[in-house]
Amino acid sequence: MTSDRPLTRLGFLTIGLFDEHDPATGHENTLRTIELGERLGFDSAWIRQRHLQHGISSPVAVLAAATQRTTRIRLGTAVIPLGLENPLRLAEDLATVDVLSGGRLDPGVSVGPPTHYDHIKHSLYPDTADQEDFTHERVARLLRFLAGEPASTFTGTEGIETYSARVQPHSPGLAGRLWYGAAGLSSVTRAAEQGLHLLSSNVVRGEEDDDFARVQASHIRRFRKIHPLGERARVSQGLVVIPTDGATAEQKAKYRAYADARLPRTREPQGPARILFAPDLVGPAEQIAEHLHADPAFQQVQEVAFALPFTFDHEDYAQILTDIARRLAPLLGWRPART
């Protein structure tokens, strides 16, 4: 079976894991991975945000560095949880990185109470923890600021300083590049109503079915049915994909052990929220391509952000990305961008 929508945009996603006692090396390896992605022709590189963990806590800062080490590859966040952000300040940071990159930033966000909120709320919002709004209104505020709507009622010159009503720098078009990471029906619906792009990962809520692929496919159909652009609305699929064509025997064993350890969680919905996880795809590129062509969600998308496993070494990521770009993606209809 083949897809009616050949793959046109190839991306990858990394958590940017690092050693607590040597964080510089991990961050540098993330930048090296992004540079490699550009050389291989990937269309986009995405950073996943982690707070109070040993993964990148400030993707905007890391992507600012990446703008100075790349020239073509698009740079995304997948995703920034807005519950820990001030939309005005985030808008300033995002616009700054977009200007530095020459318009290559693709911000991805989500809403909802922060993870372990009861444990961090007094550090995060000591005076307003019980009044904070974690709904999609937070996305709406960010959109308004990125679009250049007023953030202040004061403008003009005061002494020798000039003040603007809108966020500075203003980067035209950035608001139209905002993505939303959705796992459930209500988030998919709200993202479509707000005219955002959709990031669909390897985690969804089983609100209507126990089968991951069917749920993800239904989310994409619902999103496009509601979105103002209809079938032209952009959707990116993110699965953990590990081709082994160029892997050593030791790497293959490591990859298989990683996937096997995570497999039990894919067999049934997890917890009260009925979370469904997609199985990791490990094996030769032709085998993975066959699986994806039969996937009802992949059949509806033209772009992906394949997720790199959390705990591997830089050399493993280099092998995986090389096999994705040179072996797997061409089987999915993709052709590399010119570098």
HEC letters along the chain: CCCCCCCCEEEEEECCCCECCEHHHHHHHHHHHHHHHHHHCCCEEEECCCCCCCCCCCHHHHHHHHHCCCCCCEEEECCEEHHHCCHHHHHHHHHHHHHHHCCCEECEEECCCCCCHHHHHHHHCCCCCCCCCCCCHHHHHHHHHHHCCCCCCCCEEECCEEECCCCCCCCCCCHHHCEEECCCHHHHHHHHHCCCEEEECCEEECCCCCCHHHHHHHHHHHHHHHCCCHHHCCEEECCEEEECCCCCHHHHHHHHHHHHHHHHHHCCCECCCCEEECCCEEECHHHHHHHHHCCCCHHHCCEEEEECCCCCCHHHHHHHHHHHHHHHHHHCCCCCCCC
Segment 188-230, tens digit of pLDDT: 999 999 999 999 999 999 999 999 999 999 999 999 999 999 9
Which tens digit of pLDDT belongs to each residue from 124-178? Answer: 999 999 999 999 999 999 999 999 999 999 999 999 999 999 999 999 999 999 9
Amino acid at 2: T
| Residue 273: CB atoms within 10 Å | 12
* Bond from prior residue into 79 cis (ω within 30 degrees of 0): yes
Task: Flag whether 4 is in a domain.
Answer: no
Q: Is residue 338 included in any domain, yes or no?
A: no
Q: Quick one: pLDDT at residue 338?
A: 62
Residue 94 corresponds to which amino acid? Answer: L
159 within some domain: no
Domain membership of residue 170 as a residue range: 9-125+133-151+164-331
- The answer to whether residue 337 is domain-embedded is no
Specify the pTM. Answer: 0.96
Residue 57 lies in a domain: yes
Residue 157 domain flag: no
Is 31 within a domain? yes
For residue 156, being part of any structural domain is answered with no
What average pLDDT does this structure show over 248-277? 96
The domain that contains 41 carries what CATH number?
3.20.20.30
Q: How many domains does the chain have?
A: 1
